[in-house]
Amino acid sequence: MGATPAVPGESRGGAPATDRPRDAPSDQVLAERPDRSDREADGRAVTGAQFRSAFTAAPVGMLLATAEPGQPNVVVATNDALAQLLGRPSSELVGMTVPDLVNPLDADDIAEVLAGVSSGATRRGVWEHRVRRVDGSIAWARLSVALAGEADGRKQLIGHLEDVTEHRRTQDEQTRHALYDGLTGLANRLLAMDQLRRVLAALREQPGRAAILYADLDRFKAVNDTYGRDVGDRVLVEVAARLRATVPHLYLVARLAGDEFLVVCHDIGSDEDLHELVERVRTVLENPVDVRSGTVSTTVFVGASIGVSVAVDPDTGTEQMLHEAGTAMREAKRLGRHRYQVFETSLGDPATRWLQVERDLRTALAEDRMVLHYQPIVDLVTGRISGVEALLRMVDPVRGLVPPGEFIDVAEESALTYPLGDWVVNEACRQLAVWQEIARSGPALTMAVNVTGRQAAEAARSGSVLTEASTAGIEAGTLFLEVTERTLLGAADDVVADLEALTRAGVRLTIDDFGTGYSSLTYLQRFPVHTLKIDQSFVAGLGVNRRDDAIVAAVVALGAALGLEVVAEGVETAEQQAALQALGCPAAQGYFLGRPMPADDLSRLLVANV
């Protein structure tokens, strides 16, 4: 098309050489061949007949229009391609002005470009604009116009109109790619940070408080591992939709990466308002997500930990805010997940805190300053101690006993999880062997050991727990590994197989904190579970909250129906114990029945227990 050099037939090939540069009908030609005399030398001058047929047959829209300075540019000829592009027959187009052909929004700009060319002020004009097709649809066209010599002594414009709708669409697509997340359609990090920059800058004009909420899903990795990426993706899409629907319309919701989302709030009002907003977001993400895949519907629980950073100073850095919100988010996770935390300077850098805790742990392990305390588990029918739970503590030279809540998260995330876990199992088995030796008559004492998800998987795979158990000489079926429902949620199929091998070899599996996680019956089906441990939050509500009564009764009944042992945790009062007995709960532990204590103290109790 534009590659064919042409001069308008009506103004004949013999027009003065000085006019020639204006003759070319497209900007490409002008760009490629600025020097007309080259073409002359090539012997490629075009006759009027050739031009006419090239004009008519050109695959791009072409038009000729009048070019009287100060007068509207009236179309005098068009080709089929133009008629097609605009969806009108050529006969209708002739007589219209060129600006009439375009979208009214662009008409003034086009008129200006044309005036420049008509008056000779500019040699040619190129303009990308919208054209309105006769069916009302809008297409994007690229119009190039140049003076095309004269016809009957009048100057004419030649226009070349190319449909660039597809090209524009690709461009828009690219913009979308660059600024939006392909999966959820939310803004991406780039756009979010840009918006945050604007929001902060706006504080200069209008003082107030801006904030960002940084939400990280709590169990997303587990969902992905268990159900596959497909389900994972759908969960993300649902989370995105919930966030959008929950926060005010003008706040920007973005997906930063993976399972991390950001809400940019330009004006958060009071602390109350902020609290109310974050709680709303947290709660909405806490609700189960139903994912349908074919005929199978899966219910997934993710929940989120949310970090908040608030700014009043327009000079606050965007990266700094993000860092603060991230810090607060990780603190929320450390404090037990499914909660939110507002950044305060006292939080410091979590990375530093984690490193510190990890260092402390490593030293404590090396210096033999980890200890196990044991809490009795009591048979509610006989009143005797039937087992114990080993609970880990770190002995700090200054602070004394440090509870696991302060370091178990760090251990789980670090390489220490294996040596520490091995130490716990080893030590607990050694102690159990001693106690079983003391109480030889009667049913053998059991030992419950808490293990993290990674540890359970690794132990199951390597069989290390088995080795410990057998070398320690404990009786088969007396070592219980306690895992939480959340841990099991993340377990892949091979872990299930390994856990089965473990139970065949006599190690038993307890679901800890039952009722707080997913309490899905599929876990009980999928894993070789032996015992359910009713979470202490339900026990605390016994006799006070009818819902808790009902939940405890239901778990006891479930255990009875499925042939599972049931242990209630956190019994603090005689009333709670009585309530559990009335519900037929077979076993319990708690401060009322015995606090976690050093091995020596428990040894004395056991002697009395015999």
Partner touching 424 among ligand C2E, Mg ion, none, CB below 5 to 8 Å by kind? ligand C2E
Q: Give CA–CA dist 254/265, Å, rounded.
A: 11
With b meaning 16 or more CB within 10 Å and e meaning fewer, what string describes 424-447? bbbbbbbbbbebbeebeeeebbbb
Does residue 513 touch Mg ion according to CB under 5 A? yes
Contact code string over 412-451 relative to Mg ion, x by CB under 5 A: --------------------------------------x-
Least Cβ distance, residue 462 to ligand C2E (angstroms): 17
SS3 76: strand
451 binds ligand C2E (CB under 6 A): yes
Residue 97 CB contacts under 8 Å (≥ 6 apart), including other chains: 65, 72, 73, 74, 75
The single residue among 341, 536, 577, 609 that binds ligand C2E, judged by CB under 6 A, is 536
Report the residue from 96, 453, 590, 609 that binds ligand C2E according to the rule CB under 6 A.
590
Please report whether residue 392 would count as binding ligand C2E according to CB under 6 A: yes
Query: Counting contacts by CB under 6 A, is residue 502 touching ligand C2E?
Result: no
Q: Which of 512, 531, 534, 577 binds Mg ion (CB under 5 A)?
A: 512
Applying CB under 6 A, does 442 fall inside the site for ligand C2E?
A: no
8 Å CB contact between 338 and 303 = yes
Q: Please, what is the minimum distance in Å from the beta carbon of residue 401 to Mg ion?
A: 17
How many other C-beta atoms lie within 10 A of the C-beta of residue 599? Answer: 18
> How many other CB atoms are there within 10 angstroms of residue 111's CB atom?
16
Residue 376 sits in the site that holds ligand C2E (CB under 6 A): no
Task: Choose between 5 and 517: whose C-beta lies nearer to ligand C2E.
Answer: 517
Nearer to ligand C2E, 29 or 385 (CB): 385
- CA 174 remoteness from chain centre: 21
Segment near ligand C2E (CB under 6 A); pick from 69-77, 354-362, 542-550, 590-598: 590-598
Q: Site for ligand C2E (CB under 6 A): which residue of 216, 512, 548, 565?
A: 512
DSSP-derived letter for residue 97 is: B
Q: Considering beta carbons, is residue 274 or 447 the nearer one to ligand C2E?
A: 447
Contact status: 375 vs Mg ion (CB under 5 A):
no
Which amino acid appears at position 437 of this protein? Answer: E
Element (H, E) at 545: none
Stretch that binds ligand C2E, among 142-150, 168-176, 354-362, 446-454 (CB under 6 A): 446-454
Considering only residues 558-587, where is the footprint of ligand C2E by CB under 6 A?
569-572
Regarding 591 and contact with ligand C2E (CB under 6 A), the answer is yes
Whether the Cβ atoms of residue 511 and residue 529 lie closer than 8 Å to each other: yes
Closest distance to ligand C2E from the beta carbon of 537 (Å)? 9
Please give the Cα distance from 310 to 316 (Å, whole number).
10
- Contact between 131 and 103 under an 8 Å Cβ cutoff? The reply is yes
> Is 224 an interacting residue with respect to ligand C2E (CB under 6 A)?
no
Question: Which has the closest alpha carbon to 114: 148, 163, 147?
Answer: 147
* 106 vs 422 by CB, closer to ligand C2E: 422
| Separation between Cα atoms, residue 208 and residue 206, nearest integer Å | 6
Q: How far is the CB of 535 from ligand C2E (least distance, A)?
A: 8
17: left (phi over 0), alpha (psi -120 to 50) or beta: alpha
Nearer to ligand C2E, 325 or 424 (CB): 424
# chain residues binding ligand C2E, by CB under 6 A: 23
Q: How far is CA 237 from CA 185, 220, 241, 265, 504, in A?
A: 8, 12, 6, 21, 41
Lookup result for tokens 């405890």: 552
Residue 559 contacts which entry, Mg ion, ligand C2E, none (Cβ below 5-8 A, type-dependent): none
User: What contacts 576, CB < 8 A, 6 or more positions away?
Assistant: 539, 540, 542, 543, 590, 592
Per-residue binding letters, 466-495, with ligand C2E (x by CB under 6 A): ----------------x-------------
Q: Closer CB to Mg ion, residue 298 or residue 450?
A: 450
Angular region, 584: left φ>0, alpha ψ -120 to 50, beta rest: left
Is there binding between residue 426 and ligand C2E (CB under 6 A)? no
Length of the chain: 610
- x/- site string to ligand C2E, residues 396 to 415, per CB under 6 A? -------xxx--x-------
Beta strands 154-163 and 138-151, pairing class: antiparallel
Q: Is residue 482 involved in binding Mg ion (CB under 5 A)?
A: yes
Give which of Mg ion, ligand C2E, none residue 446 binds (C-beta under 5 to 8 Å, depending on kind). none
Is residue 5 part of the contact set for ligand C2E (CB under 6 A)? no
Our CB check for ligand C2E shows the closer of 45 and 433 to be 433
Helix (H, G, I), strand (E, B) or coil at 309: strand
Binding site for Mg ion (CB under 5 A): 450, 482, 512-513, 569
Q: State the residues that interact with ligand C2E by CB under 6 A.
A: 375, 391-392, 403-405, 408, 424, 450-452, 482, 512-513, 536, 569-572, 589-591, 596
